[in-house]
A and B are shown apart, each in its own frame.
Chain A
Amino acid sequence: MSDETLDLRDVRGPSALGGGWRRTLELLYIIAVTEFKRSYFGTALGYLWSVARPLLLFGVLLAVFTHLVRFSSVPHYTVLLLLNIVLFGFFQEATGQATASVVNQESVVRKTQFPRLVIPLAVVLTSVFNLALNLLVAFVFILAFGVTPRWTWLLLAFLLLALFIYTTAIAMILSSLFPRFRDVGIIWAVVLSALFYATPVIYPLQLVHGTIGRLLAANPLAPLFELARRWVIDPRAPLSGGTLHIVVPAVIYVGVCALAVWIFNREAPRIAEEL
Chain B
Amino acid sequence: MTEATPLIDERTSLHQRPIVIEVRDLAKSFRIPNHRINTFKERIAHPLTRQTYRELSALRAISFEVHRGEFFGVVGRNGSGKSTLLKILASIYRADRGRVRMAGRLAPFIELGVGFNAELTSRENVVLNGVLMGLSRQEARRRLDSVLEFAELREFADLKLKNYSSGMMVRLAFAVMVEADADIMLIDEVLAVGDAAFAQKCMDVFRARRAAGKTIVLVTHDMSTVQSFCDRAMLIHDGELRYLGDPEETALRYYRLNFGGHAGAAPGDVPDVNVRLIDAWLENPAGQRVDNVEQDEPIGFNVAFEARQDLRSPVFGFHFLTADGTHVFGFNETLALEDGEPNVLRAGQRARISGTIENRLLPGRYYVTAMISRNHHQGDLALHVLRLFDFVVYGTRPGPGSVSVQADIATTIENP
Whether A associates with B in a native complex is: yes
Residues of A near any B CB (own CB < 8 A): 1-14, 18-19, 22-23, 26-27, 29-31, 34, 38, 105, 107-114, 180-183, 187, 269-270, 272-273
Task: Looking at the assembled complex, report how far the CB atom of A43 sits from the nearest CB atom of chain B, in whole angstroms.
Answer: 15
**Bound CA span A137–B91, Å:** 44
If A3-B16, A11-B101 are given as contacts, then 8 extra A-B residue pairs at C-beta distance below 8 Å, sorted by A number, are A13-B92, A18-B91, A26-B136, A30-B131, A107-B115, A108-B115, A272-B87, A272-B92
Contact between A110 and B111, CB atoms less than 8 A apart: yes
Nearest-CB residue, chain A, relative to B137: A26
Residue B68 contacts which of A6, A110, A180 (CB distance < 8 angstroms)?
Answer: A6
- With A8-B22, A13-B93, A27-B131 in contact, do A183 and B117 touch (Cβ < 8 Å)? no
Contact between A6 and B103, CB atoms less than 8 A apart: yes
CB contacts under 8 Å to A, within B192-221, are none
Contact between A183 and B39, CB atoms less than 8 A apart: yes
Contact between B13 and A8, CB atoms less than 8 A apart: no
Contact between A34 and B38, CB atoms less than 8 A apart: no
Count: A-B pairs, CB below 8 Å = 129
B79 at the interface (CB under 8 A from A): no
Contact between B103 and A182, CB atoms less than 8 A apart: no
Chain B, 109-137, contact with A by CB distance < 8 Å: what is the 0/1 string?
01101111111100010011101111011
**Chain B contacts for A183, CB-based, 8 A:** 39-41
**Bound CA span A112–B116, Å:** 10
Chain A to chain B contacts (Cβ below 8 Å), 25 pairs: A6-B18, A6-B68, A11-B89, A11-B100, A13-B91, A13-B94, A18-B91, A30-B137, A34-B120, A38-B120, A108-B117, A109-B92, A110-B110, A110-B111, A111-B110, A111-B113, A111-B114, A111-B115, A112-B108, A113-B92, A113-B106, A180-B38, A181-B39, A182-B39, A272-B93
Residue B92 contacts which of A14, A26, A34 (CB distance < 8 angstroms)?
Answer: A14
B265 at the interface (CB under 8 A from A): no
Task: Looking at the assembled complex, report how far the CB atom of B25 sits from the nearest CB atom of chain A, in whole angstroms.
Answer: 14
**Bound CA span A31–B116, Å:** 12
Closest A-B pairs by Cβ, 5 of them: A13-B94, A108-B115, A113-B91, A6-B103, A8-B101
B168 at the interface (CB under 8 A from A): no
Nearest-CB residue, chain A, relative to B41: A183
**Chain A contacts for B18, CB-based, 8 A:** 4-6
Contact between B136 and A27, CB atoms less than 8 A apart: no
* Number of B residues, CB within 8 Å of A: 50
Contact between B17 and A1, CB atoms less than 8 A apart: yes
Task: Looking at the assembled complex, report how far the CB atom of A233 sits from the nearest CB atom of chain B, in whole angstroms.
Answer: 40
B104 at the interface (CB under 8 A from A): yes
Contact between B103 and A112, CB atoms less than 8 A apart: no
B151 at the interface (CB under 8 A from A): no
**Chain A contacts for B128, CB-based, 8 A:** 27, 30-31, 34, 108
**Chain A contacts for B133, CB-based, 8 A:** 112
**Chain A contacts for B92, CB-based, 8 A:** 13-14, 109-113, 272
Contact between B40 and A181, CB atoms less than 8 A apart: yes
**Chain B contacts for A8, CB-based, 8 A:** 19-20, 22, 101-103
**Bound CA span A269–B93, Å:** 7
**Bound CA span A34–B117, Å:** 10
**Chain A contacts for B17, CB-based, 8 A:** 1
Contact between A6 and B20, CB atoms less than 8 A apart: yes
CB contacts under 8 Å to A, within B216-258, are none
**Chain B contacts for A110, CB-based, 8 A:** 92, 110-111
Task: Looking at the assembled complex, report how far the CB atom of B330 sits from the nearest CB atom of chain A, in whole angstroms.
Answer: 47
Residue A181 contacts which of B38, B87, B94, B114 (CB distance < 8 angstroms)?
Answer: B38
Contact between B136 and A22, CB atoms less than 8 A apart: yes
CB contacts under 8 Å to A, within B37-61, are 38-41
**Chain A contacts for B132, CB-based, 8 A:** 23, 27, 108, 112-114
**Bound CA span A7–B19, Å:** 9
**Bound CA span A9–B106, Å:** 12
**Chain A contacts for B108, CB-based, 8 A:** 111-113
**Chain A contacts for B20, CB-based, 8 A:** 6, 8
B95 at the interface (CB under 8 A from A): yes
Task: Looking at the assembled complex, report how far the CB atom of A35 sits from the nearest CB atom of chain B, in whole angstroms.
Answer: 9
**Bound CA span A107–B103, Å:** 25
**Chain B contacts for A1, CB-based, 8 A:** 13, 16-17
B304 at the interface (CB under 8 A from A): no
Task: Looking at the assembled complex, report how far the CB atom of B91 sits from the nearest CB atom of chain A, in whole angstroms.
Answer: 4
Nearest-CB residue, chain A, relative to B23: A11
Nearest-CB residue, chain A, relative to B88: A13
**Bound CA span A30–B120, Å:** 12
Task: Looking at the assembled complex, report how far the CB atom of A176 sits from the nearest CB atom of chain B, in whole angstroms.
Answer: 15
**Bound CA span A100–B68, Å:** 41
B99 at the interface (CB under 8 A from A): yes
B345 at the interface (CB under 8 A from A): no
CB contacts under 8 Å to A, within B75-107, are 87-95, 99-104, 106
Contact between B103 and A7, CB atoms less than 8 A apart: yes
Contact between A34 and B93, CB atoms less than 8 A apart: no
B30 at the interface (CB under 8 A from A): yes
